[in-house]
């Protein structure tokens, strides 16, 4: 299932009031709305509620640490609509690798300064914009390929179905004429002709598809909507 779209607000989480105030000052200066949490439990609850597009997350927090919050966000955000920047006082390569393995996109090392944080947030916002553009381009490409496949399939369907269907309808119509001339029942043949014409109408609608849409069929299964326009 596709995750809900990310909220443009920023989530900041740190148990240090001074760092939290710095986050809020920087984000306000960049014109970004934000929500603040002082521990991992509140941060996770806020993200679940609002699905923030950007999260600034301290690693060392009470309740849930930043790495666990990061893992939970990634588990719930398969499409990576949320960009996560972790804030850490650790500088060992293994610690930074652990943060990235938990799902972080970037990190800021303590002690954090205003200019450094502004730069990191700007980089994050630029990368988020680039990622959104890439996803849109990939979706357009997927749709173009799907549409091309639909077009090829409709040509094949029309060719493979229309020829025998036309022959069937012609023969049924001739049989109907003969039955009527003889004064014999024609109900069964009329049903066959009506259903054949129904198939022909469906094949025609397939050939006229320009912007196909999927509709629910059964359970989680969907199908292309070929119903007659109202």
pTM over 0.85: no
User: What CATH number has the domain spanning 7-112?
Assistant: 3.40.50.2300
Q: DSSP H helical segments within the chain, as ranges?
A: 17-29, 40-50, 66-76, 93-101, 114-182, 187-207
User: Do 64 and 43 form a contact (C-beta atoms < 8 A)?
Assistant: yes
pLDDT for residue 88: 81
Domain chopping of the chain, boundaries: 7-112, 145-224
**Per-residue pLDDT at 37:** 92
Burial class (CB in 10 A: 0-12, 13-18, 19+), 5: exposed
pLDDT score of 145: 66
Q: What is the pLDDT of residue 2?
A: 45
> pLDDT of the chain along its 230 residues, tens only?
444 555 578 999 998 888 888 888 888 888 888 899 999 999 999 999 999 989 999 988 888 888 999 999 999 988 888 999 988 876 677 777 888 888 888 888 878 778 888 888 888 888 878 777 777 777 767 766 665 666 677 777 777 887 888 888 898 899 988 888 888 888 999 999 899 888 888 877 777 766 666 666 667 766 666 666 65
Euclidean distance between CA atoms 193 and 191, whole angstroms: 5
- Cα–Cα distance, 7 to 85 (Å, whole number): 16
């Amino acid at each position: 299932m596709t995750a809900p779209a990310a909220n443009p607000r920023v989530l900041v989480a740190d148990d240090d009031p001074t760092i939290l105030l710095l986050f809020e000052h920087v984000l306000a200066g960049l014109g970004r709305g934000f929500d603040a949490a002082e521990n991992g439990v509140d941060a996770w609850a806020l993200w679940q509620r609002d699905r923030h597009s950007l999260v600034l997350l301290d690693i060392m927090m009470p309740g849930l640490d930043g790495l666990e919050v990061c893992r939970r966000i990634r588990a719930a955000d398969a499409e990576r609509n949320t960009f996560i920047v972790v804030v850490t006082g650790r500088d060992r390569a293994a610690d930074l690798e652990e943060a990235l393995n938990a799902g972080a996109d970037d990190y800021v090392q303590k002690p954090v300064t205003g200019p450094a944080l502004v730069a990191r947030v700007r980089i994050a916002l630029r990368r988020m914009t680039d990622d959104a553009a890439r996803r849109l381009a990939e979706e357009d490409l997927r749709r173009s390929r799907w549409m091309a496949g639909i077009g090829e399939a409709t040509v094949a369907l029309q060719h493979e179905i229309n020829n025998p269907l036309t022959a069937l309808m012609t023969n049924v119509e001739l049989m109907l004429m003969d039955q009527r001339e003889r004064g014999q029942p024609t109900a069964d043949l009329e049903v066959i002709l009506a259903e054949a014409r129904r198939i022909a109408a469906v094949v025609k609608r397939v050939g006229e598809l320009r912007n196909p849409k999927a509709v629910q069929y059964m359970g989680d299964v969907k199908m292309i909507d070929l119903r007659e326009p109202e």
